[in-house]
């Protein structure tokens, strides 16, 4: 089981804090945006005297409200197509375990969300990477690159849209091309759409649930964590019109009894969040993104694509090894008694050797903190012993 590149440096960050240093966390997608007040109040005003198990598929009332929510954004989904899960993570794990056997393969564009490695290993599945590159902003690789990798053991293609860690937003045309491959080779298409609301510059998110003729092939996973800035409630969803998949996933859901009851309470209340909340969040992230991209690209040797979605970007740094640099900046460096925690990108690749000069940065801090963090990062890159830019 691989360590998380997002969390494996935590002991070094904790030690830096014990030394009195301020640590700016650019390593993890934990927004500082306030959770909607309605969700907080739902928990605060709980009148139940016993917090019970829910149905293994999740409370029916919550699933019906989720169905209404999806229909409002153009996705025709019945509540019976929805399984409430313990975070989006469990939704992906259930998807893998419901459609594959040990030794099967799933093709994933890399860099990808690092925990896909852990989910696949736990499911006995092998990830087969198809590489996207920083030069074109990590766009979807050509169809022929996917088809070269398909074997009798290939069962699915897994994407994250908008993408974590790159911030790339797949277009309708790119997704239709994937749909053609899936249909041609009778595969499943897993789409992690937890960042759906975070699309920028006028771009519109296109869900795989809108692909024609693929109802039996598509599984969409979702979560309240990022949309409502409530990562800790651990509530996600698995959505598919394929009744056999839902029936099979429900067996895994029964084995873990039920998703969190308090989390479902908060999730259901959050569905009443007014549009004004998202307008404010959108404007805040646009400002953070624009500042971050410009500031990073002003640092000599740094290459930062402009992400079109989510709140991450994968950045090229002029260093010999981003794993070493990410540890060094915590353990051996400070600037005005502050330092930065970043996620080395090697853990977001399956191909050995890739990502050694890249890191993932999450722009989840307010602009003033981002300014200090990037100024600190620039100074660290200037004096780092393994600097490659002469």
Q: In the chain, where are the structural domains located?
A: 10-34+276-383, 37-270
- pLDDT given at position 390: 67
Q: Does domain 10-34+276-383 have CATH number 3.30.1330.10?
A: no
Q: Are 194 and 115 in contact (CB under 8 A)?
A: no
pLDDT in tens, the chain (390 residues): 888 888 889 999 999 999 999 999 999 999 999 999 999 999 999 999 999 999 999 999 999 999 999 999 999 999 999 999 999 999 999 999 999 999 999 999 999 999 999 999 999 999 999 999 999 999 999 999 999 999 999 999 999 999 999 999 999 999 999 999 999 999 999 999 999 999 999 999 999 999 999 999 999 999 999 999 999 999 999 999 999 999 999 999 999 999 999 999 999 999 999 999 999 999 999 999 999 999 999 999 999 999 999 999 999 999 999 999 999 999 999 999 999 999 999 999 999 999 999 999 999 999 999 999 999 999 999 999 999 986
For the chain, what percent of residues have pLDDT higher than 90? Answer: 97
Closest listed residue to residue 192, CA positions, set 73, 72, 67, 89: 89
**Three-class DSSP labels, 57-126:** CCCHHHHHHHHHHHHHCCCCCCHHHEEEECHHHHHHHHHHHHHCCCCCEEEEEECCCCHHHHHHHHCCCE
* CATH level 3 topology of 37-270: 3.40.640
Q: Whole-angstrom Cα distance, residue 83 to residue 94?
A: 10
Q: Are 107 and 149 in contact (CB under 8 A)?
A: yes
Q: Whole-angstrom Cα distance, residue 225 to residue 27?
A: 16
Based on its alpha-carbon atoms, the radius of gyration of the chain, rounded to whole angstroms, reads 21
């Amino acid at each position: 089981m691989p360590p998380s590149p997002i969390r494996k440096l935590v002991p070094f960050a904790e030690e830096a804090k014990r030394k009195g240093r301020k640590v700016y966390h650019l390593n993890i997608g934990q927004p500082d945006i306030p959770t909607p007040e309605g969700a907080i109040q739902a928990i605060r005003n709980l009148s139940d005297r016993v917090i019970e198990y829910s149905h293994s598929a999740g409370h029916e009332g919550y699933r019906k409200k989720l169905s209404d929510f999806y229909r409002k954004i153009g996705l025709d989904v019945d509540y019976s197509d929805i399984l409430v899960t313990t975070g989006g993570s469990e939704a992906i794990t259930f998807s893998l375990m419901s459609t594959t056997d040990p030794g099967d393969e799933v093709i994933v564009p890399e860099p990808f969300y690092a925990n896909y490695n852990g989910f696949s290993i736990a499911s006995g599945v092998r990830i087969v990477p198809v590489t996207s590159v920083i030069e074109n902003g990590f766009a979807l690789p050509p169809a022929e690159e996917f088809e070269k990798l398909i074997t009798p053991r290939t069962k699915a293609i897994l994407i994250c849209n908008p993408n974590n860690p790159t911030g790339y937003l797949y277009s309708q045309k790119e997704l239709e091309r994937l749909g053609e491959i899936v249909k041609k080779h009778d595969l499943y298409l897993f789409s992690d759409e937890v960042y759906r609301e975070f699309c920028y510059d006028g771009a519109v998110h296109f869900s795989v649930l809108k692909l024609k003729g693929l109802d039996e092939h598509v599984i969409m996973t979702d979560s309240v964590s990022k949309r409502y800035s409530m990562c800790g409630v651990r509530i996600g969803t698995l959505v598919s019109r394929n009744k056999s998949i839902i029936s099979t996933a429900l067996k895994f859901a029964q084995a873990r009894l039920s998703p969190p009851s308090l989390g479902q309470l908060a999730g259901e209340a959050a569905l009443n969040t007014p549009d004004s909340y998202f307008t404010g969040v959108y404007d805040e992230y646009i400002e953070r993104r624009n500042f971050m991209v410009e500031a990073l690209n002003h640092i000599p040797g740094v290459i930062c694509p402009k992400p079109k979605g989510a709140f991450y970007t994968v950045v090229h740094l002029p260093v010999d090894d981003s794993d070493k640099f990410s540890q060094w900046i915590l353990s051996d460096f400070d600037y005005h008694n502050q330092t930065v925690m970043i996620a080395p990108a090697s853990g977001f690749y399956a191909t050995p050797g890739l990502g050694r000069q890249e890191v993932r940065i999450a722009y989840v801090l307010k602009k003033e903190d981002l300014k200090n963090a990037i100024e600190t990062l620039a100074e660290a890159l200037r004096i780092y012993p393994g600097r490659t830019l002469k």
